[in-house]
Each structure stands twice: as C-alpha cells, then as structure tokens.
Structure 1
Amino acid sequence: MSSEGYSSDLEVVSKNMASSELNDSVDSKFTSPEDSPHQSIAPFDMDAGKKFSDVKLDTSMINGDSRSSIDAVLNGNGHHGSTISPEDASNDPMLASALMSPLQAPLNIEAMFTPAPGGKPPLQRAPTILQRTHSDANDWELYKRAGPRYPASLEQLIMKYHQKNSNSWQLAHDMGAGSGVYATNLARFFRHIHVSDPTATGIATSRKTLSAWSAENPKKRGRFTFSVCKPEEATEAFTDNSVDLTVLMDSAHFTDAEATVRSAAQTLTPGGTLAIITHRPISHVVGNEKVAVAVQALFDAWGPRPWEIACGADTKSQQQFSLGLDFVPLPDDLFSREKSRRITINARSAPREYFRVPGVQGEEEEDSDGAAAMPMSPDEMLEMATSRVGDREKRVHYGEEDEQGRGWRYEVGWESFRTRVAVLDTPETVARLEPRLKEIERLIMKTSPNGVTVVIECAVAVVLATKK
C-alpha cells in the first residue's frame, strides 16, 4: 500500500453501446463534470503539464439484461454468455464471480438472496491456489487471488445492511483494490464502480483484469472507472456526499485508519455505507483435532512469511492487523453508533486471538512463554495501535451455522497446504516443510472419514457503518 507513482488520472473502462441505449442509461453521477448537474467528479490536481481536458472520460453504460430474472439466476437457470467452466471457476475467485448471470433493473435484493430449495447448501470445495503464471505477479496480488473466495453470505451481509439504511445503488468505491478482485462483485449491484489503489501498478493490473472481465460479461449492471489514490485521500476522487458504498478489502491495516475513515465519510452520501473487511492469512482445521495440531505445527514451522505478506513488515501495520479491525475508529460526528456493526466470523468473538501476528506485542500482553513482554519506549507506546471500539457499538459473531457466516469453510486435501506454501514461498521452503506435509497426509488418510479431505475455515472481521 505504498504511495509511489501517485497521480490522479481517471481512466474509464466501458462498452460500445448503441446510441439509443446510451441515452437511456447514462447516470449523472459519472458523466463528465460539464454535463453533470450534480458535479459529481471533483477537479483533479493533475501532474505538471497535464490538463484536466486530457483525461479520458467515456460515458458508456452497461445495463442489466431483462431476459433473466434474479430468481432464475440464483437457481442456475439464468442466461449468461460465459464459456467458463465450473472447474475454471474453482481455480480463480475472479472467474467464479464472472459466472454470475446478469442483473435486471430495478435491483431486487430480497430476491437475490432468497435461499435455493433444499435447505443448507453443501460444503464448497476450496479453490485451487493460482500458480505463478506471470513473471510480474507480486506477492500481495498472489496472496489476494489465492485467498478464500468471497462467499455469497458476505454480499448478503453488506448489501442487506446497505439496503436497510440507504437503498441507493448508483456509485460504489472499491478503495485499496489492488487487482480489483472484489470489484466484480460490486458490479452485480451498482451502476458505477470506481476502483482506486495507491500504486500505479495496482491500477494497471485492475484495469487490465476488469477490462477483460467486462468484455466477457457485457450484460453486467456496472461499469468501472479507475484512479491512483490512497485510501486516506478518497476526497481526491469524489466530491462530498456522492458515493453510496465504500469498501476496503483486506488492507485497512496498511492505512492511517483515522484519516481513511474520515476521507471515506466525506465522500459518502448521508445514509451511505462504509464496509471494511479482512481475513486471517492462515486457516484452521475444524472437526479433526489431530490434523488441526499437525497443520498448526506446519504453519509454526513455516515462520512469518504468510503474515508478512498479509500485514507487511512494519510494526504499526502488524499491530493494527492483530486487533482484527478494532483499530478502525467510527467517529460519533460522522457515523451512527447505533447502526454500526463490528462482526467476526469463525473467530468466536475473539478477533485479537485469531488475528494476532506471532511475535507482535499488543496492549497489556505477555510473550509466548507467559513472561511479561519487554517494556516499550514512550515513542513506541504512543505509536502502538489500540482499540477504537465505542461503548454503543454492537458486536456480532457468526459461524458456519449462521446464514450470514456461511461459505467460509472448505474441504481440502493435504496437497492444498503444500500448494499454499509453494505459491507464497520458495522451493527450498517447500522442501524444508516436506516432512510436516507428509505427516498431514498420513493423518488425513488415517483419521478423516473419507481418508482424503479435512474441513478448514477462515476467520473474518467486518466493520459496517452508516454515515449520519
């Protein structure tokens, strides 16, 4: 989440639509400043020598497809033009999103989340982790793409919360988006999705990915725009009170949380939603104690590598991550405390236990041997991340048994653990951990009911807030 290469260029991915469709579909929130009665795009501070008139701005719009009802889509009977196979979908969370069929207007949230006949859905197979197919792929993008798929329950959690407090579906902001993994989910609901990231590399990746995705999914509801922008400076990309939903996925701990929240709030409409989500970088085995112990021993022997990719190497980011989003403030002057929700999924209401980075000292904590931690200097104490949870904020915990927490469990074979190490680390590390991987294989074959797989679950933290 560094800020190198910062600029305010705005790029637009769009489709070539017939002029008759265009006239009916363009929303004033993202037309050019000259045409928009709301003046929804703020003038940008351009780099030296660059004029605002040089920024490419295309007002094409993608409409929903009226040929398929939402119920038919969710039951698997809706029309879609994708040729992606279910196997491909399991390999890549973004391809899985691309399989979703088109929306029809007006948006019907209740219909979208009506449970399919047959009761509780079966446990999903974990997605196969992507291999290093591109030489320019960096560890952070591999980590995000190799992580758990965002299940439908997360969309339900966010979108029903938003519908209850706003129900406006014009403009969403995916900030700190990286390669834009979650932007495709937002395209199911919002007419415009603005994708921002602090680095030009992140925006180049997301623009390429989402351009290809848009070409394969021409009937999706939303279109995408892009800017290089830090989460703390969201006001550089929007005028005040113009965004309906802002999401920050898996990267809040890299930011100045106070500045990020205030900047996002300034751009949100009254009643708009701020959604912040993060997940634990390593999963834990449930329902098989022997394998759970062996897998934890594997991760302990692996060392700090997965945590360093997820949290960075600096102390402040790791301390913030260790609080499981409790470090995120929701100031009384900006957000309704009564409507805010601090949610944990598969974390047993103990985010600090599940999200704590090994070796990171927190508030009034001891080291792993039970001894008092080394005293910190005054400067270190001032910089230490602390909880910002208010007295009137509501905490909620969900598990796999709850509709809102469903979908974060997967069945995996022992080779899934090897693949995760191989993707995020070196061949030498895989070789070093081979005896532990073989022990996991042996235990699964011996203790698992089918002798092949075990169940893992991912711990998740969510903050939902409504602007006053």
Structure 2
Amino acid sequence: MATRLFEEKDHIALYQQFRFSPQQNLLGVIFSYLERKKTNSFQLAVDVGCGSGQSTLVLAKRFEKVVGTDISAAQIKEAKRASHPPNVDYFLCPAEALPFKDSSVDLITAFNAAHWFDAPRFLREVDRVLTPAGCVAVSSYNLEAEVHYKDCSEKLTEIFMELREQFFAYADEKIQRVMNGYKEIFDSLLYQDKKRFIDIVDKVPFSIAGLMGYVESLAMYQTFLKAQPEVAKALLQNTEKRFLEAMGVSSRDTTVELWMKHICILGCKNP
C-alpha cells in the first residue's frame, strides 16, 4: 500500500502554498510523447497521488475529463476546495486500487508521488485501466537542485545542498527510489514501448521566503522538525540569513531560480 504522508493540517497548507505545478520542459517531454503515441481523442486522464491538485490542473486543457486521486482525505479536501475547471474532479483512493473500469483511461500520471506507492501493484492497476495504446507518465524531481542568482549561484547552491544534507538522514527509505532515478519502476513497467529520462531541467522562480517554504513542505524536513523542532527551525533561519548575505540583499522577497532536474518514465500500453 502507498505510504501515508502530507496529511497534517499545517503540512498540507505548506504543500498547497509552496509546491509548484509540473513545469514547461517536463510537460513538453510528456505531451510530445503523448502526441506521437495516441491516435484517439484525449478523453480521460487520471493523476495519481495528486495531493492538493497542482499537477492535476495542468492536464485540464488537453483532456475532456481529468480526475486526481490521492490516499489522503485531507489532501483531496484541499484540492476540491481550491479553484478548478468543471472538467476536473477528485477521488479518494489508494494508487493501488483505482476506481476506474478496465481499459477506460487514456493517460495515467504520477508527479512526485510514485516512489511512495507499492510499485508492482500500482503498475498492475495502470495496465488494467489504460486503454489499448494508452500512456503512463511517472516523474519526480531529484534531490540535486541548483540555486541561481546573478554571480553567486555556485555559493547559493553550496548552501542549499548543505541544508539538504542536514535533514536528509530523516528521509524515508523510499526516497532511495528517487536517488536511483526510478530505475526500479522503469524495470517493472513491462511495456515494450517505454523511455526513461533523468536530465530534464526546469527553472522555477522562488522568492527566498518561498524557497524556505518549499523546503518546509518536504516530508523529510517535516520528520526532522518533529524530531528536533528547535534545531530544524534554527537551520532554516540560518540558511535564509546565509542566502541573503551571499546575495548582498536584505529582502526575503528577492527572487532566485531553482534549477530542478527531473526523472521521467514514459510508457505506452501495447495495443
């Protein structure tokens, strides 16, 4: 069964505020693959592990119907509460037991979520619900990001990676799937037509305050925070101070770019 995380009220608020939707370069790879593989109209897409819905919404303009699913009732409640177009809906269910008929779904996506699933059971469900020639796209950003601002990008990236190392010891063991580039999931996907990308880069703008909020939203930081609350809070405060000093600015609203490298697995069901 999928791991249950991101369910506490404060964590959900951070997730909704600071997590970002799938970005342009990643979506370009996914949609280009989809355009090459699909011969039917795009009718139903299902976004599994949708959280509070940021990833689900990017599918709405390309499909007649889009459904986001998640194991967390609190996340689904937040997704339903947020603004969304009429062709988007949200269901509460585990990734390994999707409430869709056999051969009824044109696209399955899982953004930054599949490492939490029971991968073999999830992939069996993918195969069951996909239409002939239906597609699956599973992606995650990896944990090695760069922070860019003027001529101090190298220093900012060094500070950011030092921050990550401080709480990486609190990462769930399933994060190793991300560190391994989702190779386990790729190998378990039995379709002949499949591809794995490990170097898609998107540049995400963040204020310094927003970047600290993004870090707070990470599951491993939340585990660190519960274990050592004062140490965890002081670490973020000190990191923010180091960023501002390195940049030579005083405002935490100053914008930097976070260069995120994505892993992406694409597959097409054998027709």
TM-score interval (norm. to shorter): 0.7 to 0.9
1:247–1:438 Cα change, 3 Å: same
Alignment of 1:144-155 (within 5 A): 145-155=17-27
- Counterpart check, 1:198 vs 2:71: yes
Show the counterpart of 1:224. Answer: 88
Aligned length, in residue pairs: 251
Tell me, yes or no, if the aligned pair for 2:142 and 2:178 is still in contact at 8 Å. Answer: no
Secondary structure (helix, strand or coil) at the match of 1:276 reads strand
Show the counterpart of 2:84. Answer: 213
- Counterpart check, 1:319 vs 2:181: no
- Counterpart check, 1:270 vs 2:132: yes
Q: Cα offset for 1:268?
A: 0.5
- Counterpart check, 1:256 vs 2:118: yes
Tell me, yes or no, if the aligned pair for 1:145 and 1:181 is still in contact at 8 Å. Answer: no
Gaps of 5+ in 2: none
CA distance in 2, matches of 1:296, 1:181: 26
Q: Cα offset for 1:435?
A: 3.9
Show the counterpart of 1:344. Answer: 198
Q: Deviations over 1:1-27 (max 9, x none)?
A: 4579xxxxxxxxxxxxxxxxxxxxxxx
CA distance in 2, matches of 1:2, 1:420: 21
Show the counterpart of 2:155. Answer: 290
CA distance in 2, matches of 1:438, 1:340: 45
- When you count strand as a share of all residues, which structure comes out higher? 2
CA distance in 1, matches of 2:137, 2:49: 13
Tell me, yes or no, if the aligned pair for 1:250 and 1:277 is still in contact at 8 Å. Answer: yes
Secondary structure (helix, strand or coil) at the match of 1:340 reads strand
- Counterpart check, 1:180 vs 2:53: yes
CA distance in 2, matches of 1:191, 1:262: 25
Q: Cα offset for 1:191?
A: 0.5
Larger displacement relative to structure 2 (175-184 or 290-299): 290-299
Q: Cα offset for 1:147?
A: 2.6
Q: Deviations over 1:372-412 (max 9, x none)?
A: xxxxxxxxxxxxxxxxxxxxxxxxxx44xxxxxxxx21455
CA distance in 1, matches of 2:266, 2:94: 20
Alignment of 1:58-69 (within 5 A): none
Q: Cα offset for 1:289?
A: 2.1
1:320–1:432 Cα change, 3 Å: closer
- Counterpart check, 1:335 vs 2:206: no
Alignment of 1:372-411 (within 5 A): 398-399=200-201, 408-411=202-205
- Counterpart check, 1:431 vs 2:254: no
Tell me, yes or no, if the aligned pair for 2:21 and 2:58 is still in contact at 8 Å. Answer: no
Tell me, yes or no, if the aligned pair for 1:175 and 1:231 is still in contact at 8 Å. Answer: yes
Q: Cα offset for 1:330?
A: 5.1
- Counterpart check, 1:243 vs 2:105: yes
CA distance in 1, matches of 2:258, 2:265: 23
Q: Cα offset for 1:436?
A: 4.0
Secondary structure (helix, strand or coil) at the match of 2:128 reads helix
Show the counterpart of 2:38. Answer: 166
State the one-letter code of the partner of 2:248: M
CA distance in 1, matches of 2:215, 2:101: 44
Q: Deviations over 1:137-176 (max 9, x none)?
A: 3425633652343223333221221121114301111112
1:246–1:293 Cα change, 3 Å: same
Tell me, yes or no, if the aligned pair for 1:3 and 1:230 is still in contact at 8 Å. Answer: no
CA distance in 1, matches of 2:22, 2:137: 14
CA distance in 2, matches of 1:191, 1:138: 34
- Counterpart check, 1:466 vs 2:260: no
Tell me, yes or no, if the aligned pair for 1:342 and 1:463 is still in contact at 8 Å. Answer: yes
Q: Deviations over 1:399-437 (max 9, x none)?
A: 4xxxxxxxx214555444444456666684333454443
Tell me, yes or no, if the aligned pair for 2:207 and 2:256 is still in contact at 8 Å. Answer: yes
Tell me, yes or no, if the aligned pair for 2:38 and 2:134 is still in contact at 8 Å. Answer: yes
CA distance in 2, matches of 1:203, 1:271: 29
State the one-letter code of the partner of 2:165: D
Question: Pairwise CA RMSD of aligned residues?
Answer: 3.2
CA distance in 2, matches of 1:3, 1:300: 24
Larger displacement relative to structure 2 (265-274 or 275-284): 275-284
CA distance in 1, matches of 2:158, 2:116: 31
Tell me, yes or no, if the aligned pair for 1:421 and 1:430 is still in contact at 8 Å. Answer: no
Show the counterpart of 2:14. Answer: 142
Tell me, yes or no, if the aligned pair for 1:174 and 1:193 is still in contact at 8 Å. Answer: yes
Tell me, yes or no, if the aligned pair for 1:418 and 1:430 is still in contact at 8 Å. Answer: no
> Highest Rg: 1 or 2?
1
TM-score by length of 1: 0.47
